[in-house]
Amino acid sequence: MRDALAFCAVSIHDDRPSGHRDERPQRGGKKSADGPAGTQGLGVQDYDYDYYDDAAYSDANATAVVDRGSGADFYEELDDRKPFAWNAGTDLGLLVLRLVVGGIFAAHGAQKLFGVLGGSGPEKFAQSLAKAGFEQSAVLSLVTGGTELGAGALLVLGLFTPLAAAGIVGVMASAIVSMKLPGPFFDQEGGYEYPVVLIAIALCLMFTGPGRVALDNGRSWFRHPLVSGFICLVIAAGSAAAVLVLLRS
C-alpha cells in the first residue's frame, strides 16, 4: 500500500516551472488555485479548466490522433490530426442515389414517349395534359417525356448533373401545381408527397454534384457546385413558370 501511494504521489507531481498552464481538460471537480478537486497540497500547478476540444466542429481538423506507444499523455493534443475530406462513402452514396432516381425518371420518360413498361404513350399522356388545362398538349407530352428520359439518363451517367437535376425539378414542380394543387399532401390520399421527395433529391444532387464516380468529375461545374447549382435552380424555376403561365389556360 505504501508503495502504491508513493507511485500515485510521483505520478501527479508536476515538477515543471511555475506559471506553466497545462491545457488538459479536467474530468470533474471544481476550479482551484491548487489544482483539481481533491488534489490540494499535492504540488499540482495551475490548470486551465475552461479548455474544451471542439476542433472537430470548428475547423478542418478531425479527431485527435494520440501516439500512445511513445508515452504521450492520453489527453494531450498532437499536431498531426487528420483533416476532414471528401471520402469514398460519399461517392458511393451519391452513386446509389443517382442510379435509383435517374433510373426511375428514365423509365417514366420511356413510358410517356414509347408506351413501354406499361406506359400510356405520347397520345394518352397528351390527353391527360389537355384535361389538366394545358394547350399544345401533344408537343408538351413529347417535351415532358424527353426531359424525364434525358434527365434520368444523365443522372445515371453523372453527366451535366446540375442541369439534369434542374429538368427533374421543373417537371415535378409543374406536375404538382397543375395536377395536385389544391389537394391533400400524403401519397395514400392521392397527394403530392412523392413528387416533393423527388424534388428534394434532385435539389440535393444539384448542389452536391454527382460525386467522383461520374463523367462530370473534374469539369468546371463539378468544381463549383454551389454556383452551378444556383444557376440551374433559376433555369428550373423559369422553365416551370413559363410552362404554367404560357401553356396552361
Can you give the pLDDT at residue 86? 82
Predicted pLDDT at 49: 41
Predicted local distance difference test score (pLDDT) of residue 77: 53
Half-sphere exposure in the Cβ direction for 44 (13 Å, CA): 21
Specify the pLDDT at position 3: 53
Positions in the chain short of pLDDT 70: 1-82
Instruction: From 176, 173, 211, select the one nearest 190 (Cα to Cα).
Output: 176
What is the pLDDT, as a whole number, of residue 118? 85
What pLDDT is recorded for position 5? 44
User: Cell match 501511494: residue?
Assistant: 5
Burial status of residue 179 (CB atoms within 10 A of its CB: 0-12, 13-18, 19 or more): middle
